Each structure stands twice: as C-alpha cells, then as structure tokens.
Amino acid sequence: MSSEMLEPGMAEIFSLYHPPGDVYDELLDDESQPRPHWRRFAESLSDEGRVDLLDRWQTANRLLRENGVTHSVVGQDQEGLRPWELDLLPVVFDQREWESIDRGVRQRARLVAAVTADLYGEQTLLRGSLPPRVLFRHPEYQRAYFDLPKSQTPLALFGCELARSESGQWWVMADRSSAPAGISYAVENRIVISKTLPQILHRCQIQRLAPFFILLQESLKQLARRRRSNPSIVLLSGGPNHPYYFEDVFLARYLGYPLVEIEDLAVRKNRVWIKTLEGLVPVDVILWRSPDRNIDPLELGGFSPDGVAGLLQVLRNKNVVVANGFQYSLLDAPVFMPFLPAICRELLGEELILPSIATWWCGQREPLEFVLERFDELVIKPAFGRSGSEEYIVSELADERREALHARIMADPENFVAQEKIKRSSAPCWVQNELRVGHLALRTFAVGRGSEFETMPGGLVRVGLSTAPMPLSISAGAFSKDVWVCAEEPVPPVSLLARAGGPTRLARVNLRLPSRAADNLFWLGRYLERLEFAGRHIRKVTERLMSESAAQPVQDVLPLIACLAEQGLIEESWGVREFLPARDELELVWPRIVAQRSDPQRFGSLRDKVYRLASTVRDRLSDDLWRAFTAIGARDFPLRSGRDLDLSELSQSIERLLLHISSITGQVFDGLVDGPTRWFLLIGKHVERAQQLTGTLSHFLNQQADADVLSLVTLLDVCNSLLTYRSRYRSQFSLLPAIDLVVTDGGNPRSMRHQFEQLRSLLGALPRRKGSRGLSPEERIVEEALVELRTILPDPDADVEWDDYRTQLTDFLARCEDRTGRITDELSAAYFIHTGKVRLIDQNIPQER
C-alpha cells in the first residue's frame, strides 16, 4: 500500500508498512486502512518523529540489558544467555476485542483447574470425555498427588499462548499452568516502555498491569487461612540453573515475597519451614515456580533424595498451601487439546470460547490415519511433553528424518500428537531503524480468585520474522512487544507499593536470610576478592612484560606467576620455574594463558563464577549493584572475545575489570545496609583477602633477593599499597617498612591485620549459635591470628630486626594457610548447613523364594 492512502496525521513511518496479503494484519484492515484503535497510537507516534524512535529503541534495549533482563539457561556458562529484546511498537487492542480474549482465557483457566481437580479426584472424565489412557500414560500423572485437598493446591496463575489465523480468529496454541513463563517479561517490557514512551502511553489510555498483581497478592493472602493478618508467602524458584530464573527473581521482588529454592525448605512438626540464619521460619503459602519433579523424596524420590521430605503429608494435613503446584503440569501437555470442547461441556456445562489449535492424538485409530494421510502438512509433538519441548515441522524434515519420525510414531502412536500449522497475524515492527513485518505469538495470563479468574489486561508478544511455526518457548522469536489494551476512559494510577497502613513495628536487622543465600553471599565475597587479587597480579605481570624489552628478565613478577599458578588461576605447571616458558615466549603466550577457560578454576572462568553467584542472590542486590555485576558478566567483555589479545588489549581489559570490581566494592560498603547480606559478602571478602595475602607474601619471601627494590615495588603495587608507602618513605625502599605496611599495619585496609580485625567485628555481629556462650570457634581462630600479629610487632615503635620479623612472619603465614579454610568450615557448619543431608534409607526388598 502507499502512503497516500493513510489519513492525514498518521505516522509517516507506517506509510512504509507493507504486510503480506495472506495473513490477518493487526494494524490494517482489508481496505489497507488502519484499524480505529490503532489511530491514537499512530498519531501520537507521528508527533514523536522517526529519528527519535531509533534513539528511544536504543535506550529501551540498553535499559533491558542493564537490568540484566535475559532469557534462556544460565547453566555452566553464560553463553546460553541472550539479552531480551523489545520492539517499541506495541500491539494495540481495543477494549471490545480484548474482552473476547479475556472471557476465553478466564474460562480456559477455570477449565484447566477443573480438569486437574477431576483427574486427581473423582476421575469422572475417564468415564466420559477423556480416553483413560491419556491419563494413565501421562508421565506427569503422579499417584501420590491423588486426593490432595483442593483448598491447599489452587491454581493461582494461568498462562495462555495464542495465535491469530488468517480469518482473524484467535487459537490457543498451549496452556501453561505449572509455572507459566513470560509474566515477568511482560511487566519488564511495560516498565521499559513507560520510561521510553511515557507520553504516548498516557495519551493512548492504556490499561495498567499493576492491578493484576495486586489481585495475585490478595489471592495468595486469602489462601493462608491460618495467618490471615500477616501470612508468610514465598516464591519457590527452580534456581539459577533453570531457564526463566530471571522471571522468578523479578516476580519475587515485584510481589515482595522472599525467593526460595527447594533446599531452603524443610518439614518439621507437620509444617513447612524455611531454613534461615536465625533458624527455621514457618511458611504458609508457596507460589511454586520450580519445574523440578522430585518434590518429596519420601513419596516420589525413587532414587533421588532431592525435594522437601514430608511436604505431601503437610499438604494433606492442610498446614501449607502450594499454589500452581506440580499436579498442574498434567495439562501443559498438548494431548488434552482434542478433548477440551467435550470436557468443557461435561465439566463446566459451557461451550469452549477459545478453541485450541487443531490437534490430533495418534493414540486413536481415526486421528492416526488422518495424521498419516496429511503428514507433510502437520507439526508433530510428543503428546505428553510440556508442549514446546520438542516439535517437528514435517515438511521441513529431510527424507531420512521424516522416515525416522514416522517410524517413531508407528512404534508408539499414543506418544504423539499432530497439530495444524497456522499462519500468524502480522504487525509492524521497528527493527534497526527500518519498518518490517512481524508475525505474532501472544501470551497472556489469568490470576485465580476463589473459583473465578481475572485476565491480565495485556501480556507478552513474541515476534517471528516469518510465518514459520514459532516454538512455544519464551526464548523463541526474534524479539518481543508490549501488549496495549486501550481503555475507554483515562486510567487511574496504581502501584504495588503505596498501600494503606504503615509498618506495625520497626525492623532494623532482618535475619531471615535463607541459609543458602548466606552461603552464596559468602562465596560471592570470596570469588569477587579472588578476581580482584588475580586481576592485580595479572595486570602487574602484563605491565612488566610490556615495559621491558623481550630480552630483559622480569624476575620481580615470578612470585606473582607462581602465586597464580598455585591456585590454578593459570596453567598449574607454571608454578615450577623450570616449566615456565622463556622470557620472549612468555610475552607471546601470556594473554592466551590468562584468557583460558578450560578449567573452572582458571582466571578466565572466574568472572562467570562471580556472575553466577551474584545471580543466585539477585533478589538481595539493588538494581545498581546488579548492573555492576552484569557488566562483569557481559558477553562482549574483551577477555572472552575468542580471539587472541595482545598485551595492551589484555592490560586494558583487566583495567576495565578492576574498575567494575571497585564499583561493586564501593556499592557494597556504601549502599548495603548493615545486615546479613553485607556481613556475609564482607566476611567472604576478608577471608579471601587474608588467604591471597598469605599466598602472595609466602611466594615473595621464598623468592626475594635481599633489598631487591623492584620486587618490593611489585609487591606493594599488587597489594595496592605503593602509594601509601611512597607518601611515607618516599623512594627509600627497604624490607621492614614495606612488609609492615602489608602485614602488621592495621590502618592499611590491604594489610593482614586489617583483615582479621574486620573479621573480628563482622563475626561478632552474627547471631549466636543456640545455647553457646563466649567466642565462637571461628572467632577464636581470628583472635589467635591477631595475637600472633601482635607478637610479630607489638607496636610501631618497637625495636625489631628484619630477620626476627621475617622468621616470625614465615611461621605466621604457615599457620594462616589453614586458618582461612577452618573459618570457612566453621561458618559453613554453623550457618549454611542448618540441616544435614537427606538420605534415602535402604529399601526393603521382598526376597521370599
């Protein structure tokens, strides 16, 4: 179509939009005229102008990156993470059209809840509309969930994946009732849009998303009958190794619930508890977002001890509520779709409002024959898989694979369904300053409210740039869009924060830190410090290699290389002088050796480790602090570009890393309130610094030639104390004052003494062990170290000879080697492990002959 056909005032950019004629277009009607509900948006947009749009698109996606909005698996490596991308052009719905989706989704949610309840209870459907083998062959059908009280296992959140076909009809592509994904991305998109296009959003009178979440909060609160006034509600996540962990973190923060993982929970006295620093804290409602199947090793374990032993019994005794529990995973499988219209009539006495995409279950003869006849036109999926896990577009398969798939179906037809392909509707997308046609997958959500549901006035659109079937995973598609449902009247502001009624009492320190989080914070502190120390060492070695000609020896940095090699941060064999490459070769291989990620201990892998640990405590970190960690974990960090760097690039890269680390450290000191998060981060940091100092000093004392000024300068530099030394002693370099500065001078934050003094006060702040008095074992280790440091140098004026100092220091360092390990063990036993490991006891095998 041409621009002349657009009404005056329409955005100039839409004149460039040419949708294909064979699909339904969201923006343009059959006469290529904009649909009425898009006009206000188009007008507002044309006022903003085109150049501006590119700028705002960049801003929006920078915001998303900085907020660490990512999708896909964190896994072993960050490679699996992709940034979430947002198109500024929303998909606009008028209220009337949305109402039909709204009614359909609400009914669908009621239906899913009713079917699940029936199949885990009366099972009337098995005598009616559902072939029993659909249930009996379903791997997610767990007999242990049979007859769990319905009041304790509600469906709180429901997700529905939709697509619009050529005729304009909406079809349900998938139902999502166990941990519906996409909900946080929908909110995050809206937040970013409201920061980038605030005026347009306002002018278009877009319905807000916040009321949906207020409903969810209220609904979960209602579920906790036991403690209605102040129930304890937690969000259970599958943890950082699961695909949508970002969503769980976001949702927990947005709703104001603690984020827990399954290891944080335990059953005692017929209730569920969280293991925290101050002991066990009871839980009333769990919003279940973990996809793990092993939820109770007592009843479902098989051979795995994972899960919360006794949880099902607590549910049966009605002492906890699990919302969106494991039993809802049944209906995520596509095998139910062909039967839903009849089931809906049977269970609800209603006609199904939103039809499912045409689906054939191969477990019945006639559908199977039909599928085989039209094989090449269909999409084949495992019948019982959570739809989206695996799918084949038959027409795209090579002959060999097509035959193999055919054989798999024939070997076990019940295990497969076939679905029709659908040509999704199109909408304009603004991609890299160019208007393009995108094809839409819409996901929206419903919240349970008693036996009714309410639909989110909005959702998430994923965009494919072709009409090819789009996988159901949230991570599929080129980018995403916000969904705007226009209201007929101006929309009042709502927020989840400003609610009536102030806090009841002041709370200064919150000890309800899950033990697992304390553990991760401690190690985050340690690895962050290790990253910094190693970074300083590497920077120093690199600088020296750059500043000297290839013929000049660099004796002074050999202790640093030994220290790195000893910890496996670089090639271990380099710790032995004979295996170290010759000076000229060293210069060539050094950047590659530093970038190595072959081993998880390597310096190159350390950044990933820090990022991963930070992501496990994401809910404890401010957005700013998290942004700093995101920068450390960024994929485009030069050190991991995959190509070999030269020395100066390496040096710049390390410089940048150290800058990010100091920004994090600054925010930890300056921004974190006094409480367990800060304590454990800093305890980890000081323990690690003491350990790193011990290593560096030991290597230095082993290798230093007397009065070698260069070696002293190097040592002071990596300990970040060179400036202080120069200001005190100018250029007079000698051993005693230099070593005193990094060992016995408590005023230097980089000194050994300072680490132990800090540990003394931090450990003192931790909650006491039950029934214990006096110093804790880890405090005693710290005191021991401080006494020894005083013996080395009683006071600054003491008349001490270097030889005596050196002898005592060598002994001290030798003892320090296991001190840091012992402190770690003691902390771990007292604060991180809370309850022991769960073991399955020997099974009682019947053996009668």
Task: Confirm if 748 and 757 have CB atoms less than 8 A apart.
Answer: no
Among 240, 310, 388, 413, binds another protein (CB under 8 A): 310
CB of 407 to another protein, least distance (A): 13
Tokens of 677: 């998060």
Packing angle between helix 735-742 and helix 722-729, nearest 10 degrees? Answer: 130
Query: Using CB under 8 A, which residues numbered 246 to 305 contact another protein?
Result: 267-270, 297-299, 301-303, 305
Task: Confirm if 699 and 537 have CB atoms less than 8 A apart.
Answer: no
From 346, 391, 322, 30, select the one nearest 179 (Cα to Cα): 322
CB of 846 to another protein, least distance (A): 4
CB of 155 to another protein, least distance (A): 21
d(C-alpha 273, C-alpha 671), whole Å: 30
Query: Using CB under 8 A, which residues numbered 824 to 843 contact another protein?
Result: 835-843
CB of 778 to another protein, least distance (A): 21
d(C-alpha 525, C-alpha 688), whole Å: 8
77-116 mask for another protein (x: CB under 8 A)? ----------------------------------------
What is the CA 111 to chain-centroid distance, rounded?
31
Does 389 contact another protein by CB under 8 A? no
At a CB cut-off of 8 Å and minimum separation 6, what does 598 contact? none
CB of 770 to another protein, least distance (A): 14
Q: Please identify, using beta-carbon distances, which residue of 199 and 835 lies nearer to another protein.
A: 835
d(C-alpha 361, C-alpha 84), whole Å: 35
d(C-alpha 168, C-alpha 164), whole Å: 6
SS3 state at 797: coil
Does 143 contact another protein by CB under 8 A? yes
Q: Please identify, using beta-carbon distances, which residue of 798 and 840 lies nearer to another protein.
A: 840
Q: Please identify, using beta-carbon distances, which residue of 727 and 847 lies nearer to another protein.
A: 847
Q: Please identify, using beta-carbon distances, which residue of 706 and 848 lies nearer to another protein.
A: 848
Query: Using CB under 8 A, which residues numbered 313 to 332 contact another protein?
Result: 313, 316-317
Q: Please identify, using beta-carbon distances, which residue of 317 and 810 lies nearer to another protein.
A: 317
CB of 617 to another protein, least distance (A): 25
Does 549 contact another protein by CB under 8 A? no
Among 63, 126, 358, 491, binds another protein (CB under 8 A): 126
CB of 129 to another protein, least distance (A): 11
d(C-alpha 312, C-alpha 267), whole Å: 10
d(C-alpha 515, C-alpha 284), whole Å: 19
Helix or strand run (H / E) with residue 222:
helix 210-223
Q: Please identify, using beta-carbon distances, which residue of 268 and 768 lies nearer to another protein.
A: 268
Query: Which DSSP string corresponds to 809-829?
Result: HHHHHHHHHHHHHHHHHHHII
Query: Using CB under 8 A, which residues numbered 412 to 431 contact another protein?
Result: 412
Does 117 contact another protein by CB under 8 A? no
Length of the chain: 849
Q: Please identify, using beta-carbon distances, which residue of 773 and 837 lies nearer to another protein.
A: 837
Task: Confirm if 187 and 298 have CB atoms less than 8 A apart.
Answer: no
CB of 114 to another protein, least distance (A): 20
d(C-alpha 553, C-alpha 541), whole Å: 12
From 770, 767, 745, 749, select the one nearest 758 (Cα to Cα): 749
C-alpha torsion 521→524→530→531, nearest 10:
-150
- Which segment (142-150, 368-376, 418-426, 789-797) binds another protein by CB under 8 A? 142-150
Does 723 contact another protein by CB under 8 A? no
**In the block, residue with structure tokens 């323990």:** 687
Does 147 contact another protein by CB under 8 A? yes
Q: Please identify, using beta-carbon distances, which residue of 730 and 849 lies nearer to another protein.
A: 849
Does 642 contact another protein by CB under 8 A? no
Q: Please identify, using beta-carbon distances, which residue of 275 and 481 lies nearer to another protein.
A: 275
Does 769 contact another protein by CB under 8 A? no
* Binding residues for another protein, total number by CB under 8 A: 43
Label residue 718 exposed, middle or buried (CB < 10 Å: 0-12, 13-18, 19+): buried
Task: Confirm if 75 and 241 have CB atoms less than 8 A apart.
Answer: yes
d(C-alpha 674, C-alpha 508), whole Å: 9
Task: Confirm if 163 and 173 have CB atoms less than 8 A apart.
Answer: yes
Q: In what order do the strands lie in the sheet with 359-361?
A: 359-361, 416-420, 378-382, 392-393
d(C-alpha 385, C-alpha 748), whole Å: 60
- Which segment (128-136, 215-223, 233-241, 720-728) binds another protein by CB under 8 A? 128-136
Tokens of 648: 């100066």
Does 365 contact another protein by CB under 8 A? no
d(C-alpha 128, C-alpha 265), whole Å: 40
Q: Please identify, using beta-carbon distances, which residue of 147 and 396 lies nearer to another protein.
A: 147
d(C-alpha 123, C-alpha 22), whole Å: 44
Among 5, 49, 58, 136, binds another protein (CB under 8 A): 136
CB of 273 to another protein, least distance (A): 12
Helix or strand run (H / E) with residue 272:
strand 271-276
CB of 303 to another protein, least distance (A): 7
Q: Please identify, using beta-carbon distances, which residue of 310 and 464 lies nearer to another protein.
A: 310
Amino acid present at 559 = P
Q: Please identify, using beta-carbon distances, which residue of 269 and 770 lies nearer to another protein.
A: 269
Among 31, 578, 706, 848, binds another protein (CB under 8 A): 848
d(C-alpha 592, C-alpha 616), whole Å: 30
Q: Please identify, using beta-carbon distances, which residue of 399 and 848 lies nearer to another protein.
A: 848
Q: Which residue(s) pair with 276 in the sheet?
A: 279, 514
Q: Please identify, using beta-carbon distances, which residue of 731 and 843 lies nearer to another protein.
A: 843
CB of 840 to another protein, least distance (A): 6
CB of 844 to another protein, least distance (A): 5
Does 508 contact another protein by CB under 8 A? no
CB of 410 to another protein, least distance (A): 14
Q: Please identify, using beta-carbon distances, which residue of 300 and 617 lies nearer to another protein.
A: 300
d(C-alpha 139, C-alpha 330), whole Å: 8
For residue 155, give Cα distances in angstroms to 224, 227, 238, 533, 561.
Answer: 14, 20, 18, 50, 58
Does 770 contact another protein by CB under 8 A? no
Q: Please identify, using beta-carbon distances, which residue of 225 and 316 lies nearer to another protein.
A: 316
Tokens of 509: 């320190």
Does 385 contact another protein by CB under 8 A? no
Amino acid present at 720 = N
Longest dimension (CA), the chain: 99
Does 771 contact another protein by CB under 8 A? no
Does 396 contact another protein by CB under 8 A? no
For residue 703, give Cα distances in angstroms to 80, 442, 555, 641, 706.
Answer: 43, 66, 9, 35, 9
Q: Please identify, using beta-carbon distances, which residue of 291 and 301 lies nearer to another protein.
A: 301
CB of 301 to another protein, least distance (A): 7
CB of 384 to another protein, least distance (A): 11
CB of 388 to another protein, least distance (A): 24
Contact residues for another protein, defined by CB under 8 A: 123, 126-127, 132-133, 136-137, 143-144, 146-147, 267-270, 297-299, 301-303, 305, 309-310, 313, 316-317, 412, 835-849
